[in-house]
């Protein structure tokens, strides 16, 4: 892997990691609230975990784009 590709992958990976930790922490906090019903807890846990999954998927796609050389998609238009 080229050094320039590695440098371009650092920021998306760090940002995605921070977002994933944030969303998982939010889900954990909602699980600790004792007065919520089970349905509310499920909704308040599933939504942040789904967002964490989306952040992971988008990061994987971005890393694949960088590795394949499609770094500047706007130049095509």
pLDDT tens, 22-66?
999 999 999 999 888 989 989 999 999 999 999 999 999 988 888
* Torsion angle, alpha carbons of 34, 38, 43, 44, to 10: 10
| pLDDT at site 55 | 95
Specify the pTM.
0.77
Q: Return the DSSP state at 36.
A: S
| pLDDT at site 71 | 60
CA 27, CA 49: separation in Å to the nearest integer? 7
| pLDDT at site 49 | 94
């Amino acid at each position: 892997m080229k050094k320039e590709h590695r440098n371009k992958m650092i920021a998306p990976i760090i940002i995605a990691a921070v977002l994933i930790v944030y969303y998982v922490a939010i889900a954990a906090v909602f699980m600790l609230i004792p007065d919520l019903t089970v349905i509310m807890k499920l909704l308040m846990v599933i939504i942040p975990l789904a967002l964490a999954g989306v952040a992971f998927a988008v990061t994987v796609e971005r890393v694949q784009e960088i590795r394949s050389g499609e770094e500047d998609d706007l130049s095509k238009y």
